[in-house]
Amino acid sequence: MVIRCVKLTNFRSHKEFLLQCNPRTTQIVGENGCGKTSILEAIYEVMQGKSFRAVDREILKRGAPYYRVEMEYEDGRKVVAVFDGEKKEFLAEDKKSRRLPKKAKYPIVLFEPDDLNLVGSSPTRRRNYFDRMFGQLSEQYGVALARYNKALKQRNELLKQERVDVGEVFSWNVLLVKHGMELHRVRTEMVGWVREKITEVYRSIAENLDEVSLEYVSEVGSESEFLSRLERDFERDRIIGHTGYGVHHDNYEFIFNQNKADGSASRGEVRSMVVALKFIEAEMIMQRLGQMPVVLLDDVFSELDEVRQKCLVRNFQNNQVILTAVEGQDDLSECVVIRRG
């Protein structure tokens, strides 16, 4: 057991809500729109330092002056997040901070229904998915991503000005290259690790001999090539008003039996790939961070057939799982059913 309880105040539709967690599986049952996902969102925020859905102003219950999330771990430690309508603060180990300290974070494997569409989604959606995954596995990656995005924003703002020359964007070019190459390095390493595991894990789910791979697709080569390309493309970028080259255009492609999975794999095969990816993410967290992640499942059982449901339960049987569902899953052990609305 990791989480003992979590209390929400003025968090989305919840004026007051207390969730007592079971050591293994906690099941939150209720009709659509009653705020089940919001509970997972609150848990994610106090364990990772931010929401996976929205900004703080959108989370604050309408008309309320603040929201508060308080989580207590099994060892008695508490983490509190408070947003007063203007700024957010965290309280961990009796210390206040604007960001959740690294030592107060705890790893999570989050599984949303939309994740099952990952294979056929847009490159932006896949980048965002893997950015979140890799950022949790590597603090250095998260820092590099934030700094790259900041430099990209500044360069794009300069490009939109009427009069700007190549010298004015040079410093931002250098920062894009510096942080972009770090992102490229970590992405290459992480995808290589996933690629080594994914066929084996997929076969354990699908029970066949199909081959699956994940490919990292990037235009970016060496550091010098990256910088030269930014300088060479300056006039084009100035005309279109944004940076057209860089790791912010990277892509990830799922390969199924030597063909692109989007278009060649069936719906069931695609879902087995995504389930396999979740299992690999949990394994990477264990190996790299030395912690057993908490698993948050947001209404995914209704999207999976019985075989994949049982596989999900079996693979995460040693994790603390908190899941939402419209109807209870009777075959889950150590479940508490919470009905709202």
**167 in any annotated domain:** no
Task: Tell me if 261 is assigned to some domain.
Answer: no
Q: Which of 109, 127, 53, 160 is closest to 281 using CA atoms?
A: 109
Q: b or e along 97-120 (b: 16 or more beta carbons within 10 Å of the residue's beta carbon)? A: eeebeeebbbbbbbbbeebbebbb
Below-70 pLDDT ranges, the chain: 1, 328-341
- Residue 24 maps to a domain: yes
Q: Is residue 89 part of a domain?
A: yes
Query: 127-133 contacts: CB < 8 A, separation 24 or more?
Result: 127/248, 127/250, 127/251, 127/252, 130/187, 130/190, 130/191, 130/252, 132/52, 133/190, 133/281
Task: For residue 76, tell me if it sits in a domain.
Answer: yes
d(CA 51, CA 173): 31
**H or E element at residue 113:** none
User: Alpha carbon of 261 to those of 59, 121, 255: distances in Å?
Assistant: 36, 11, 5
Q: Is residue 241 part of a domain?
A: no
Residue 123 lies in a domain: no
Contact of 308 with 271, CB cutoff 8 Å: yes
Q: For residue 221, give the nearest of 195, 185, 189, 248 by alpha carbon.
A: 185
Helices (H), ranges, 56-122 = 56-59
Residues spanned by the domain of 317: 1-106+293-341
Count up the domains in the chain and report the number.
Answer: 1
Q: Rounded to two decimals, what is the model's pTM? A: 0.91
Domain contains 282? no
Record the tokens describing residue 102, joined without a space: 């690294």
- DSSP state, residue 51: -
pLDDT digits (tens, 9 = 90+) for 17-66: 999 999 899 999 988 888 999 999 999 999 999 999 999 999 999 999 99
Res 60: pLDDT: 96
Q: Please say whether the dihedral angle defined by the alpha carbons of residues 21, 24, 27 and 28, taken in this order, is positive or negative.
A: positive
Q: What is the pLDDT of residue 270?
A: 95
Q: Domain containing 78 — which CATH number? A: 3.40.50.300
- Cα separation, 341 vs 325, in Å, equals 14
Question: CA 152, CA 157: separation in Å to the nearest integer?
Answer: 9
Residues 180 and 204 sit within 8 Å (Cβ to Cβ)? no
How many angstroms separate the CA atoms of 109 and 275, rounded? Answer: 11
- Say how many Å lie between the first and final Cα of the chain, rounded: 28
